[in-house]
Amino acid sequence: MSTTPTNVLVAGAGPVGLATALLLRARGLPVTVLEAAAERAPRPGSRAIFLHRQSLATLAAADPALGAELVRNGLVWGARCTYFAGREVHRRTYTPAPADRAPFSSLPQPVMEELLRAACRRAGAGIRWNAPVTGVEPAPDGVLVRTPDAVYRAAYAVGCDGARSAVRRAVGVGLRGPRSPYAFLVLDVADDPAHPLPLDRAFHYRDPRMDARNVLTVPFRGGLRVDVQCRPDDDPDALGAAADDWLPGLLPAGHARTVTWSSHYRFQQVVADALTDAHGRVLLAGEAGHLFAPFGARGLNSGIADAAAAAAAAATGDVSGYAAARHRAAVLNRRAAGRALAHLTATGPWHRAAQRLAAAAAPRSRRAGRWLDSAPYGPRDAGIPGSRY
């Protein structure tokens, strides 16, 4: 078994791992990414689709060409709209802006990853495919990471290998927090040039087209994400299987309604006990360190904030600062996501009444409409200067 020296190892070639590698290279640090999957492994579905302005700026600072490509290959919605029982209660329009001032970009995660991989290649970050992490041995002066075919030694390792993180398990860090009992069904619908999809992001409270379920539709380049909040007595599999019955009502008349991906999920609201090992040589980022309902796109965007902070910690050696700041951000993001989930599920009569009153007041009160528009996503404040996540 060979031993390969490097400065920083990153486990996971998803958006957070690739962003971490790129940001490390921007600081001049040699980096190798270890990815368990094969290079051409299929990546179905749109998955994480929203990069906030702050995340775009973070990535563009490391590679300006990447920042422009993320905007060019994505979509800025024409408007964000909110409806209550079929009636519009809030609308915010977006005007075209140059790539360096785009408010966000909506694009499928596989496209995002392709652009990030190209940026990593330009920056000189190596990626080892078919290289699952099988062991991690941190020490006061560095860390050793094992894969089936090699042993890597580094100053630091950053675990960006997702919810089932092998890195997190290897260093004995646990996750704590509740799991939501509410299921959500998500479908990707391909665009139909003959019957174009709407370019507005729309949230529907008690959508009459879906028997009063909450429905979110989010356009991205090439398609539309449809997110349906299931009722407690719904069978998500059965609801998904019946999409041909209810999906036409959500799409333009005559649309081909080609479903390219479907899934359902129940959110976990968990944060790692610690975001570093005891020696301060292993850092956890993204879903390796926290899982929460992605309302407000806080899953991906908090992961990009983690990536920037992890790169800074590896460059400066301030790993304890990383652990404290990003753990605080994770807890605040979990709390914000929990508030959003409570608003969406509206299990208490007072919460349902507040939504009805706000909807009734919205034609005369912009504040009421803004509350109905923003509450399903939770507040964005990570408590970290310069970071909304």
| Cα first-last separation, the chain | 41
Sites in the chain below the pLDDT cut of 70: 1-6
For the chain, the maximum distance between any two Cα atoms, rounded to a whole number of angstroms, is: 71
User: Contact, 162 vs 272, CB < 8 A?
Assistant: no
What is the arrangement of strands in the sheet containing 142-146, beginning at the earlier edge strand? 2-5, 150-154, 142-146, 135-139
DSSP strand pairing (79-84 vs 282-284):
unpaired
DSSP strand pairing (150-154 vs 2-5):
parallel
Query: If you compute the radius of gyration of the chain from its CA atoms, what whole number of angstroms results?
Result: 21
State residue 70 phi and psi, 5-degree precision: -65, -35
| Residues forming beta bridges with residue 270, ordered by sequence position | 291
User: Looking at residue 4, what is its pLDDT?
Assistant: 57
User: Looking at residue 343, what is its pLDDT?
Assistant: 93
User: Looking at residue 5, what is its pLDDT?
Assistant: 56
Domains defined for the chain, CATH in brackets? 2-78+90-177+269-336 (3.50.50.60), 179-267 (3.30.70)
Closest CA to 154 of 165, 167, 163: 167
Helix (H, G, I), strand (E, B) or coil at 164: coil
- State how far Cα 385 lies from the chain centre: 21
Mean pLDDT of the chain: 93
User: Looking at residue 1, what is its pLDDT?
Assistant: 39
Residue 1 and residue 181: Cα distance in Å, rounded? 46
User: Looking at residue 291, what is its pLDDT?
Assistant: 93
